[in-house]
Amino acid sequence: MSSTLVLPGGTWTLGDRTVTRFGYGAMQLAGPWVMGPPKDRDEALAVLREAANSGITHIDTAETYGPRVVNDLIREALHPYAADLLIATKVGGRRDAQGGWPAARTPDELRRQIDDNLETLGLDALDLVHLRLGDASGTVPEDIEEAFGTLVDLQRQGVIRHLGVSNATAEQVAQAQSIAQIVSVQNRYNLANRGDDDLIDRLAAKGIAYIPFFPLGGFSPLQSDALSGVATRLGSTPLSVALAWLLHRSPNILLIPGTSSTAHLRENIAGSRLTLVEEDLRELDGIAG
Ligand SMILES: NC(=O)c1ccc[n+]([C@@H]2O[C@H](COP(=O)([O-])OP(=O)(O)OC[C@H]3O[C@@H](n4cnc5c(N)ncnc54)[C@H](OP(=O)(O)O)[C@@H]3O)[C@@H](O)[C@H]2O)c1
């Protein structure tokens, strides 16, 4: 049986579900550039089982990872799912033959992506679906009414339990909130990329989760002299300090660090238990400039 007590950060309530703030992002389980099968399939399955056995109850995925590969691995490793496990997914994009991530947000495309997620994950309903906006280079200020409205209709039909938005501007978050209740925003944010600081605080005041993607820097892990300095002083590693800082930043921040390695997963869980004092925080807050 899983124990949420062992994980750093405690828990957060997403709609009617309680999840561990320390979660797991499954994107790194696919092949290079998130295309094709993993280089070590057994290790990929082992990472997912390790996450569940560690007590993690929030796993982030998308049908576009592989595509299909990561959802298939999740089902193979963890189905039938534990009652307390929440699998969050994203719709709004597809993969092209070059590995690009073009938008796919017409009502028909979104409904098809929901069906694909249900099928690959082996579920009758999806716990949490983020509408993924913008493009691979970042957010794009576009109207979301039709796309988000399509997901709201699917929620009414019972195939989606909770809704969120991803890669969204503050205006798009507000537009989504004007249409239906959202429980989370999943955007790019880490020690060095703090454009969402105000948004995080506003969401915290409303009890809405903020889920940073690329918490460790993504495809180019965070590097900074200040970060290394704090890590050395604490007898830790830069990436552990980066995760501990996120947990410290705001109680509504949920971590989904990605890894394809059980050793890194264990290291990240253990490392983010760090207590940061005022001097550490002052130095770390200076990194984003
Ligand atoms: N909504 C969106 O648009 C969006 C976009 C991107 C990602 N996401 C989600 O966010 C999650 C997190 O993002 P991410 O996985 O791209 O980036 P990330 O968590 O910032 O960093 C992952 C990278 O860090 C490395 N890493 C992890 N732990 C490490 C350790 N202890 N020591 C050394 N290296 C370590 C991983 O390599 P190893 O595999 O070797 O450990 C991997 O290359 C994804 O898994 C995905 O679920 C969402």
Q: pLDDT tens across 39-61, in order?
A: 999 999 999 999 999 999 999 99
Provide φ and ψ at 256, rounded to 5°: -135, 55
10 Å CB burial of residue 161 (0-12, 13-18, 19+) is middle
CATH of the domain at 75: 3.20.20.100
Does residue 272 fall inside a structural domain?
A: no
Q: Whose CA is nearest to atom 48 of ligand 1?
A: 213
User: What pLDDT does residue 184 have?
Assistant: 98
In a domain, 229, yes or no: no
274 part of a folded domain: no
Cβ–ligand 1 distance for 28 under 6 Å, the answer: yes
Q: Tell me the β-bridge partners of 98.
A: none
Return the structure tokens found at 261: 């390695």
Mutation pick for ligand 1 pocket among 24, 27, 185, 193 (CB with most ligand atoms within 8 Å) = 27
Question: Quick check: is 287 in a domain?
Answer: no
Confirm or reject: Cβ of 184 under 6 Å from ligand 1: no
Phi, psi of 185 (to 5 degrees): -125, 130
Q: What are all long-range contacts of 51-54, with beta carbons under 8 Å and residues at least 24 apart?
A: 51/24, 51/265, 52/2, 52/77, 52/78, 52/82, 52/85, 53/2, 54/2, 54/6, 54/7, 54/265, 54/266, 54/269
| pLDDT value, residue 6 | 77
Given this model, what pLDDT does residue 2 score?
46
Query: Is 65 one of the annotated active-site residues of the chain?
Result: yes
Query: Which tens digit of pLDDT belongs to each residue from 81-127?
Result: 999 999 999 999 999 999 999 999 999 999 999 999 999 999 999 99
* In a domain? residue 193: yes
- Number of domains comprising the chain: 1
pLDDT of residue 260: 98
CA torsion sign, 54 to 55 to 60 to 63?
positive
**Does residue 136 belong to any structural domain of this protein?**
yes
Q: How far apart are CA 190 and CA 94, in angstroms?
A: 25
Atom of ligand 1 nearest to the CA of 222: 20
Q: Is 222 helix (H, G, I), strand (E, B) or coil?
A: coil
Range of the domain at 114: 11-222+252-261
In a domain, 188, yes or no: yes
pLDDT < 70: residue spans in the chain: 1-5
Query: Does residue 259's CB lie within 6 angstroms of at least one atom of ligand 1?
Result: yes
Q: Whose CA is nearest to atom 31 of ligand 1?
A: 264
Residue 133 CA, chain-centre distance (Å), reads 14
Does a structural domain hold residue 286?
no
Whether omega before 80 lies within 30 degrees of 0, making that bond cis, reads: yes
Q: What are phi and psi of 263, to 5 degrees?
A: -65, -45
